[in-house]
Amino acid sequence: GIQVEQSPPDLILQEGANSTLRCNFSDSVNNLQWFHQNPWGQLINLFYIPSGTKQNGRLSATTVATERYSLLYISSSQTTDSGVYFCAVVPGTSGSRLTFGEGTQLTVNP
């Protein structure tokens, strides 16, 4: 099946810093989503972005489907950004469901 690799596995920032999270995938995709899981377990859908660029406030995401990667940018980070960020994909060549990466654990310190 498709492989989804996220980097870095852990990231510690000071409040106000910017960061870039990366998601590499091993096959073409027709669905890519970024999620944020807060410390209480709630998963929030941040972006549906199989290709192109989207922005939502301090967060933006870019997927370069031809090169099989996606980036999540967090600017002016806040302590509430802490949690785990997951990338999830569906291969374009099959009808299977979302496959999740192992996530990036982000800690933003005040």
Partner 1 sequence: ETGVTQTPRHLVMGMTNKKSLKCEQHLGHNAMYWYKQSAKKPLELMFVYSLEERVENNSVPSRFSPECPNSSHLFLHLHTLQPEDSALYLCASSQRVATNEKLFFGSGTQLSVL
Cα separation, 110 vs 46, in Å, equals 23
Residue whose pair of structure tokens reads 């510690």 in the numeric block: 12
Cα separation, 17 vs 15, in Å, equals 6
Instruction: Pick the piece of the chain touching partner 1 (CB under 8 A) from 11-19, 57-65, 70-78, 95-103.
Output: 95-103
Task: State how beta strands 99-100 and 10-14 pair.
Answer: unpaired
Note whether 9 and 23 are within 8 A (CB). Answer: no
- Can you tell me which of 4, 23, 72, 106 binds partner 1, judged by CB under 8 A? 4
- Can you tell me which of 19, 33, 63, 104 binds partner 1, judged by CB under 8 A? 33
Task: Return the number of the residue (78 or 96) whose C-beta is nearest partner 1.
Answer: 96
Site residues (vs partner 1, CB under 8 A): 4, 30-31, 33, 35, 40-45, 48, 50, 86, 88, 90, 95-103
